[in-house]
Amino acid sequence: MQLTTEPAGRPATVTYWLSHAWLGTHVEPGVALDVSGGLITGVRTGVATPPPGATVLRGLTVPGLANTHSHAFHRALRSTVQVGSGTFWTWRETMYQVASRLTPDSYFELARAVYAEMALAGITAVGEFHYLHHAPGGTPYDNPNAMGEALIAAAGEAGIRITLLDTAYLSAGFGRRPTQYQQPDRHQLRFSDTTADAWAERAGLLKGSDHALIGAAIHSVRAVPAAQLATVAAWAEERQAPLHVHLSEQTAENDACLAAHGRTPTRLLADHGVLGPRTTSIHNTHLTAEDIALLGSSATGTCMCPTTERDLADGIGPAVALQRAGSPLSLGSDSHAVIDLFEEARAMELDERLRTRARGHWTAAALLRAATVDGHAALGRPEAGVIEPGAPADLATVALDSVRTVGPVPRLAAEAVVFAASAADVRHTVVAGRHLVRDGQHALVEDVPAALASAMAALHG
């Protein structure tokens, strides 16, 4: 079988030969992909041996993975926050200390290394939930988007796509009355533009590029006063841009919102026009039945971040109920306790097994969809996440002969990858047709561990 598209004036075609490919419903052996202009232009099945001149990708090739929720600077917290005990709120204080040390230059170096780590893990697109906007004390840089532009540049140099979700973060929490919110504390001054209008003015100066889309985010209902939520939503609506929001990660936030507004965070967002099919809410851990119905009926997406949610002892969100209600599921590595979308995918299923003492809530195919098709859609790229003509030539190839994946018959390769593989099993990553990771070696960042070590030593030193 051969499917092709032939864009006029296309540049020379390159061919990848996949020993096994995930085509959305099944594993197909012997697939040749023609790639031109960064897009897949032909998919040929039944190709038993590599065509002359083709680049060979041995293993299971899946569409490039989408990391829907990232805070790049949290990578510097790995291990340091595992000493002793505490809560989400004490963890947050450690996070603030790291944030206080970052400059545009040091953030570029750290993010470049983090995004290269993502590429090694088969991630081809990231949603960066970006709220570290200004200098310490809240003074804007001469270039008011210096930090955001550093992230865009870092993704470009690491070779992956980014959706910069520029985040409104204006207050420290609820006050005693619905119109009264706490002023940002000394750490949060870096995050705040003071008003949603000022945020919109600054965010409107950001420019996208071939590898970068610009979206918006509301940090949380505690960080954006209710009267200003609609301003952020309107900014995203005007641009048809993705809009993301942290939602009900902690019961304390729910309790404070109920005390201040007499309604849940989800209802508050609904009442101010935030929910909808271009909106993705992150975590959704502690929801009422009405909350689930509101999210599902509005087709608002849900991004689950299981490795962070378990690391911070947040709880297990009602992902099954949300999906049944109509909320598409995606996955993120959030605080980067680990960067491994296969771990995020299986953790969603395995956490649900622990909670319900029943197995089989999602198939491997459904979990791969969350890590690819629905993740890319949440980042504003609905054309991505599939191996089809016309789709971006973004691929990740996972070894089927490692100690974790060897043994299963080829038709069960998707199950082997989702339920046993790790990021360390990714052998190849292709972005826009470019062979970015070859046999586990990054083509642009020569020594990713050294880059990470250097960036974090500068930050902690």
Catalytic residue annotation: 283, 334
Print burial letters for 14-28: b (CB count within 10 Å at least 16), e (below 16): bbbbbbbbbbbeebb
DSSP annotation of 74: G
- Which tokens in the block code for residue 184? 């940002």
SS3 126: strand
Nearest to 327 by CA among 283, 363, 368: 283
SS3 217: strand
In 10 A of CB 55, how many CB atoms?
Answer: 16
Residues 6+ apart with CB under 8 A from 439: 427, 428
SS3 388: coil
Q: What is the DSSP string of 81-107?
A: GGSS---HHHHHHHHHHHHTT--HHHH
- Which tokens in the block code for residue 332? 């993120």
Residues 6+ apart with CB under 8 A from 1: 44, 45, 46
- Looking at the chain, the number of H-run helices and the number of E-run strands are 15, 19
- Which tokens in the block code for residue 267? 């209802």
Residue 390 belongs to what H/E stretch? none
Helix residue ranges per DSSP H, 262-339: 265-271, 289-297, 306-311, 319-325
In whole angstroms, what is the distance from residue 282 CA to residue 96 CA?
20
Amino acid at 421: A
- Which tokens in the block code for residue 437? 């990771």
- Which tokens in the block code for residue 138? 């809240």
In whole angstroms, what is the distance from residue 274 CA to residue 269 CA?
5
Strand pairing report for 329-331 and 301-304: parallel
Q: What's the length of the chain?
A: 461
Residues 6+ apart with CB under 8 A from 175: 181, 182, 260
